[in-house]
Amino acid sequence: MDGVKKRKGVTLLITLSVIAAMLALVGILMGTLSSARAHAAHNSALLQADLLRNDLSRLLERYLKGHPSKETLSTIYSTPLTLASKEGDFTLTANCKPFYDRIPLQWLAGNREDPKQRRRVLLALDLYQRLTDEAQIKDPDLLLEMLRRTLSGRHERFGISDGFQRKENQGIDRRSFQNLLDDYRFSADDPNVYRIEWERYFRLRSLGKETVGLDSEYVAPELVAYLYDLDSNVVKEEYIPGKLKDFLKTLGEETRRYRWLFSPAPPKTTMNCRMSYGFREGRYNVDFLYVNRRIEDFDVQAIP
């Protein structure tokens, strides 16, 4: 009898082990299936975004064909463009902003000894110093060196080159910039780097060598406050993008002070845009650049 009980006990133990293994396997399979579904949904969303890209390109071309008026540009910059399906079950919105409204981050990698670049480089460095001082960055020299290496075309992560050479004078995309900030944060043990709202002052992307100045009418509010040493709250409340000269006149200022910085006729149809839409159960943002009547740097990101 004792032998029978032992065999029953062993059999029960084996059965429980098999059940546990099967449950673990089912869990793994369910997780894999869920991951596969999410991956498939993401791929479908990418395909959907690519289809929408063509519709949005035609819409922008229709609005901006030829030389758009100041009123047309003001409308595009202040009012989201909307596309909706006939059935009403799908809606897309796109917001566009001027491309030449902020200082190119690329200027930080310029040569201050070059007379043609000197004023631009010094202005970018002064702005960089003010932002890093206000955020109490621990090692601004290290961060600046990391930025310069990346902007000069040397691609590194945690100080180690990965052999990939970035195109010089193209600036940096948003994901790579975030990676750079993360690298600095861990290298210097400095989370303060995330305090700086970089893109309110600097433009990450560049179109070759930056020979075009800022738009003399459409300048980011935060940059207006910095350039003219104004209270940022006053600028946000009273400054209307597209009417910089009128705003400065009310304060006794003129754009003449930065005549070298502003371009009298920047390409008006070059702009940064963000498209937002829902697909199935997900929400997505798509950042892109509209330049030369084409959509470039099309970057799809899922909204958590």
DSSP labels, 228-253? TT--HHHHHHH--TT-HHHHHHHTT-
- Specify the long-range contacts of residues 77-85, CB closer than 8 Å, at least 24 apart: 77/218, 77/241, 77/242, 77/271, 78/241, 81/56, 83/52, 83/55, 83/56, 83/59
pLDDT value, residue 135:
96
| Domain range list for the chain | 2-99+270-302, 100-201, 212-266
User: What per-residue confidence (pLDDT) applies to 160?
Assistant: 54
Please write the tens of the pLDDT for every residue from 243-299. 888 888 888 877 778 888 887 666 667 888 888 877 666 778 888 888 877 888 877
Q: Which residue has the tokens 């969303």?
A: 45
Measured distance CA(105)–CA(102) in Å, rounded: 9
Crossing angle of helices 140-151 and 118-134, rounded to 10°: 140
Coil/strand/helix, residue 133: helix
For the ranges 27-31, 53-57, 155-159, the maximum mean pLDDT occurs at 53-57
Listed in sequence order, the DSSP H helices in 189-229 are: 221-227
Q: Within 10 Å of residue 122's Cβ, how many Cβ atoms?
A: 13
194-214 pLDDT, tens digit per residue, is 999 999 999 998 776 666 678
Asked if pLDDT for residue 20 goes beyond 70, the answer is no
Which of 89-93, 171-175, 184-188, 215-219 is predicted with the least confidence, judged by mean pLDDT? 89-93
**Is 236:221 a contact under the CB 8 Å cutoff?**
yes
pTM of the model: 0.75
Helix (H, G, I), strand (E, B) or coil at 256: helix
Q: Listing from the earlier edge strand, what are the strands of the sheet with 282-291?
A: 81-84, 91-98, 271-279, 282-291, 294-302
252-to-215, 240, 249, 256, 264 alpha-carbon distances in Å: 20, 17, 5, 12, 21
pLDDT for residue 36: 39
Give me the DSSP letters along 1-57.
-HHHHHHHHHHHHHHHHHHHHHHHHHHHHHHHHHHHHHHHHHHHHHHHHHHHHHHHH
pLDDT value at position 267? 62
- Whether pLDDT at 48 is above 80: no
The stretch 210-236 carries a mean pLDDT of 86
Q: Is the pLDDT of residue 32 over 60?
A: no
